[in-house]
Amino acid sequence: MSCSELSRLWNLFVKTKKRVGKILLIISIVILCVVIIAWVSSYIYFKGGNKTNALAFQKRFNAAVAPLNIHEAVLYVENSTGGFSESYGYGGRDIDSPMLLASVTKMFTTLCVLKLRDEKRLSLDDKINLYIDGETLRGLHTYKGFEYSNELTISNLLFQTSGLPDYFGNSELVNNAIFSKDAYITFEQYVEETKKLSAHFAPGSGKAYYSDINFDILGVILEVVAGLPLEAIYKQIIFQPLGMEHTYLPVNKDDFVPHIYNGSEKVERPLFIASCRASGGCVSTARDMMAFNKAFWNGKLFDKIIFEQLSDYKRLQIDMYPIFYGGGYMRISLDGLNTFFLAKGELLGHSGSTGSFMFYYPEKDLYFVGDFSQFENPRIPIKFVITLAMVAK
């Protein structure tokens, strides 16, 4: 190859190198600009979305507390990171005010069952007669002439698929303790009151019926397995690990139990609440419950792979619409007529008959905790969290 040809090739190489260098520089600048624009857009959207959510939630909360029968209320909303955190109070309440959890307590019971399952100290397939004596169970579940009491499993109780009736609202003993004279009702009495009522279906028949006795029994099973009273089990497995210093299970009349309202009447039932135990007896604060809400759905205290099994949802009885029940918690679908197609996804958590609620909204990564302290209409929190989901950005 001649010198002139070598010189020509070298010049071509130099020119090509410069051209490639310019192209790479331009590409790098373009990529950097795209990254900056994306980051700025995300920042603006996040901040704007936060502001929009805060204003929307405040508006919904103000509307929810406007009726005359709402005397006290609190709402606490956060996302997973805490980057969005807003709280709203009414009637002197805030996120550190004591609140009666009622049936939200069931999720404490659920977590303890899952924890002991992880430790292989029980199985969801265990029949409850391994832990509850035969005399107590005899006659508990009879359906179409056949007794299923000894066929009931922990899973049946946890998923509300036992078919057992609910004494709440159907027992004179329980109604008197709520509406007339405060009284402590023993586990044995709850069982006897349940035996007076008719079962709704055979266990494991593919149906679900919400009944407090399911979780009353789970509470006793926990005590048998752990060899500790339920209040100590909650404290050891949940309250201490999560730093929930203001959450406890009342055990006698000397333990503070917040008042609630039944319409315009302020009601105090410390004895009855102390007897609700695993199905609805805990006292907490919105701040403490936010810590629990996040820990539960992130599987912080148990192996979260179990959610694959827990998410076998069944529709509850018609007066519980639109709630489905999974393994120890409620699910509310947001697709369709429930929200007039204005939201999507699902709400996961629990509500209580006294106006308490705790839900997770995975679609928007939002956690809702609060209380309306109103027994007259237990559907208030369900309707409320649905409206929050509808306006969430």
Domains, the chain, with CATH or none: 53-391 (3.40.710.10)
Q: For residue 106, how many C-alpha atoms fall within 13 Å in the half-sphere facing its CB?
A: 30
| DSSP H or E run through 260 | strand 260-262
**Structure tokens, 392:** 């969430």
- Quick one: pLDDT band at residue 366, thresholds 50, 70, 90? very high
In this prediction, residue 252 carries a pLDDT of 84
Residues 24-79 have pLDDT tens digits of 556 666 556 544 444 434 443 334 457 889 999 999 999 999 999 999 999 999 99
- Quick one: pLDDT band at residue 7, thresholds 50, 70, 90? low
Q: What is the mean pLDDT of residues 383-393?
A: 95
* Higher-confidence position of 51 and 190: 190
In this prediction, residue 300 carries a pLDDT of 96
218 and 230 Cβ atoms separated by less than 8 Å: no
Residues 262-321 have pLDDT tens digits of 999 999 999 999 999 999 999 999 999 999 999 999 999 999 999 999 999 999 999 999
The CA distance from 386 to 344, in Å, is 10
Q: Pick the closest to residue 75 from 350, 291, 371, 361 (CA basis).
A: 371
Q: What is the mean pLDDT of residues 317-341?
A: 91
358 and 287 Cβ atoms separated by less than 8 Å: no
Q: Pick the closest to residue 392 from 363, 358, 357 (CA basis).
A: 363
Whether the bond into 203 is cis, omega within 30 of 0? no
Taking residue 253's Cβ as centre, other Cβ atoms within 10 Å add up to 12
DSSP string, 325-360: E-SSSEEEE-SSGGGTTS--SEEEEEE-TTSEEEEE
Residue 151 identity:
E
**Structure pTM?**
0.87
